Structure formats: C-alpha cells, structure tokens
Amino acid sequence: MLIGLMRRLLSAHKGAVLAIVLLQLVQSTATLLLPTLNAAIIDDGIVAGNTGEIPKLGSWMAGIAAVQVLAAIAAGYLGAVVAMELGRQLRGELFTKVQAMSSQEVGDFGAPSLVTRATNDVIQIQSLAVLVFTMLIAAPVIFIGGIALAVQQDVVLAGIVVAVVPVLAGIMAVIVRRLIPLYRQGQWLIDRISRVLREQIMGASVIRGYVRQGHEIRRFDTANKELTRNNLHSALLVAGMMPMIMLVVNLSSVGVVWFGGHRIQSGEMRLGALTAFIAYILQILIAIMMAMYVFMTAPRAAACAERIQAVLDTAPAITDGPGSAEPGTDDAEAGQGAAGPAGGTVEFREVTFAYPGAEAPVLDGVSFTAVPGTTTAIIGATGSGKTTLLNLLPRFLDATGGEIRIGGRSVRQLPLARLRGLIALVPQHSHLFSGTLAENLRMGAPEATDAELWHMLETAQAGEFVRDLPQGLQSPVSQGGTNFSGGQRQRLCIARALLRKAPVYLFDDSYSALDYGTDRRLREAVAPLLRSATVLIVAERVSTIVDAALILVLDKGRLAAQGTHAELMESSPVYREIAASQLVLEDTL
C-alpha cells in the first residue's frame, strides 16, 4: 500500500525524480572512484617512488570529490523539495476527502484520528520520502559497486564481504518484521491519546465542576503509559540493530586487515589495494546504514500509509446526484444561492432516516410542505429528531427512505454546492472561525460591504456589543468564537445567515441562548427580511413559534401533529403538554 501511494503521488513529479536519480548516480560513481585513485597514489606513486603521479592523481581526486559534494547537495535539496511537495499534496487530498464526507463518516473515523492522519501520519511519509530521495540510488549502487570493486582488488578477501552480507540482511529482516506491528499499534495509540486529550481540553469546565481531575489524570496517564511502552519497545529494537550490525562489520574489518596483512607479507596483495579494500568495506557499511535507516522508517510509514489510504478510499455516501452536470453552475454562483430551481418550496414525502445498525429510525414517515413566504416551525421533546430533520434538507445526512424536494426537484438530483447555495443555515451549535468578525460574517456573502454587515448586525441585535468592541468589525475571533458569550455567538451566526440571500433559511434552535426580550426584538426585525423566503425553525420555546404558519410536532421520530398554534392547542395533546409546561415556567419567572 505504501509503494502504491508513493507511486501515485510521484507520478506528477517524474522530472524531479529523474533528476534526483541522475544526481545520485553521479554522486555514487564519484564515491566509488575515490578509493581506487587513493590506491593508485599509494602503489603507483608513493611505494613506486614516482612522485610525478601523485599531483596528477591528487587533482583527479579533488575534482571528483568536488563533483561528489555538489551532486550530493543538489540531490538532497531537490529530494527535500519533492518530499515536502508530496506532504502538501497528501494533506490537500485528505482535507478534500474529509470535506466531502458526511457527518456520519467523520464520526466513524473520529475527529482526533483524522487530525492525526493529516499531520503526524503525513509527516512520517514525508520523512521516509526524504530518506528515499537521499538514498534512492546511492545505497544500492554503492553497495553493489563496493562489492564489485572489492572483488576487483582481491578475490580472496572479497569472500569475507560476501559471507557477511547475508548475516546483515537477516538481522535487519528479523527486526523490521517485529517493528511493523509495533508501529501500526503505535499510530492507533497516538489516535487514542489525541482523543483523550481533546475531550479533556474541551470538557475542562465539566471536569472541574464535578471535581474529576484525579480521574481524568489517571485516564490520561493510562493512555500515555501505553504509548510510552509501545515507543520504548520499538526504540529498543531500533537501538539494538546498530550494535549488532557494527559488531558484524567490525569483525569482518578485523578479518580483512588480518588476512590482508598476511597476503601483503606473502606478496599476493599490494598495500594500496588493501587500503582501497578497507575503504570499500566502509562504503558497503555506509550503504547498509542507509538501508537500515530506510528500513527503520518504512514500517511506521507503511502503517501510516494504510491509515491515510483508508480515508482516501472512503467513498462519500453523499455525492452529487445524476442531475449534477448542469451548464452554468459554479461554486461562486452556488454559494450565493443565485442558481437553482425556481421557488423555495420544501417538500418532505414519507421521509425516513435511520443510522446503520440502529434498532429504530430517528425519523419515520415524515411528510409536510413548507412554501415561500411562510415560517414552518418544528417542535418536540429532546431526541425526537428535530435537528436530524433539518440536516436532511442540505444533505448533511441522506434520508434512508422517502423523498425530499426543494423548488419541485429532488435534493438528490441537485449538485451539492448548488443545493446548499439555496440554503442559509444557523446551526444548533453556534460556531465561529478564527479570524475577524468581518471575515466570519462574509462567509456566505464575500462581496458584502461594511454597511451591509452593520445592517445585519443591527437586525440580529448584535450591533450594540460589536460597536463596543475596540476594533469593531476587525475585532479578532478566537477558534470556535470562545471569546464571545453563547448569546453573542448565536446572534453573530444569525447575522451571517441573513447576509446570504437565499430562498430557504434554516434556524436550528437559534434563539435558545437569548432572553425573551432579545428573542422578541430579533424576530420582529428579521421578519421583513424573510417575507418572501421559506423559513424552517427548530424551536424549544412555544413563544418563538406561535405566529408560524405551520408547526410540526415530532414525537419519537414520528410526525404527531401539524397545524397552526391555535389548531394544535385544540387537537394535539403532545403540543398542549409542551405549551402548558412552558406557560407554567414563564408564570413562575
């Protein structure tokens, strides 16, 4: 899987890879020539007393050494550039794939795991790529060339090298075979510790509120110790590889010097040849060390490649429908809601939704029609499927049964960008992005002027507190908008949605953090702007939806009743119970 992933990524960089190969061939050839020239200086110059050969051969050595250095620097630089480009490409593919996933698929992998795969796992593959580009050709060329030139220098001594190579290969094979499952488990443990850490950071106030710091410390310590044990085990295997290889190589070097000395004494070998032979032994050692570093990195990278490929191979369950290929549609147009079928009529026809493996559906046989110029409210007990119903319209989730239509067309037949361009959404959890207030507000309307931003802020009852900020629209927003209160975030998200001129507006419990006075003023200010739009509101307060043209009452995933407030007060026991409980609560406040 690792090889297939690397081959696919490198297909766009064939020219750079070819250049790296040529540079490494030059570097390796120069490295192999130097010991032979050194042997010639000793035997044909110093020992033979021919001093005229020494400067000549020395000049050749200096020139070859300079070429070797330049080729090594160029290959290393180019290899690093290509490796970093591979990382950029891989992170981009992962990000694009995650953006195409449904909420359910993201949940299956887990947000911490996806972050780890896009960061740590990609870095591991980058590290392997750097090593491969540094040693792609150099290691095997030096290894094979070193053995061949050692045999050329002395066939008898070369037998020692030939005997040592299988021993070294066996040592590395045994250790690498044990490293692969350890590295695979290690990546899973990194996911686990990331998940625990994320939960503890996000739930810090809950942990402190219930005085569970000790329990959470022990929970983190357990995950941390397991990861440490895994890393220690793999590190010990890697650390043990080096002394074993050095022991074998040093013993072989001792044997070469011992037998080589006897052969020189008997006149069967020249001194320069022995010097070159020892140099080739060292070069073979360097080649083995290069291979060892690759083998140490490859198992972890292979485990990471499996995890990355699992994400890339995931076919998003929610994709553009068969009617996607429509002329004149682009993201910019879709993002403004300018394109799309005429009208914003929303129809649910016997819609059912169930999670895979669930015993009962979340929604079962829901049917209703919401027409432009009206507000359709959705109310019900916690867990009755209100948010799920709203998420089916922009296809954050796909209905498992029935049909959903917008403007007379099935949502499955529309391109996702075009479908979502018809909708302005205020989510249940008000989320802002790091940047400035103006950047957050312009997400749905990039061309909006400052005057338009202020107008929508005033409409959303957010103008006063934004004006009080030292930098106004340019005020910084922390990740998630945590530097604003829940009510402020909610009003900013409403202003962001109102800036988008769309035929359909979805408000998912968007007034829950507002007091009754702000709630009333906001609804009065928003009503004129949405007079011609189709508005769907998930609400907990009956007072928020009494004026709605249609109220849907959900009970355990089924549509228990629908009608106006007055009609439901007469005909729906479930609605009367909800309304009565809230009226009692309001009377006591």
Q: Identify the pLDDT of residue 352.
A: 94
* Residue ranges in the chain modelled with pLDDT below 50: 326-342, 585-589
pLDDT in tens, 537-558: 998 888 778 888 999 999 888 9
Tell me the one-letter amino acid at 493. Answer: C
Distance CA 485, CA 442 (A): 20
Q: How high is the pLDDT of residue 43?
A: 66
Residue 257 corresponds to which tokens in the numbers above?
A: 């010097």
Q: Tell me the sheet residues that pair with 375.
A: 535
Give the model's pLDDT for residue 576. 87
Choosing among 3.40.50.300, 3.40.50.720, 3.20.20.140, 3.30.450.40, the CATH entry for 343-422+502-589 is: 3.40.50.300
569 and 539 in contact (C-beta within 8 Å)? no
Name the DSSP class of 191. H
Which pLDDT score, from 0 to 100, does residue 338 have?
A: 41
First to last CA, the chain: 64
H or E stretch covering 404: strand 401-406
Rounded distance between C-alpha atoms, residue 279 and residue 273, angstroms: 10
Query: For residue 583, what pLDDT is reported?
Result: 59
Q: Do the domains at 2-312 and 343-422+502-589 have one common CATH topology?
A: no
What residue spans define the domains of the chain? 2-312, 343-422+502-589, 433-499
The pair phi, psi for residue 562, each rounded to 5°, is -150, 145
The answer to whether 421 and 502 have CB atoms below 8 angstroms apart is: yes
Contact between residue 424 and residue 497 where contact means Cβ atoms under 8 Å apart: yes
The pTM of this model reads: 0.71
Dist. CA 141–CA 149, nearest whole Å: 12
Q: How far is CA 451 from the centre of its chain?
A: 37
Task: Using DSSP, state whether 538 is helix, strand or coil.
Answer: strand
- Domain 2-312, CATH number (from 3.20.20.20, 1.20.1560.10, 3.90.79.10, 1.20.1730.10): 1.20.1560.10
3-class SS at 237?
helix
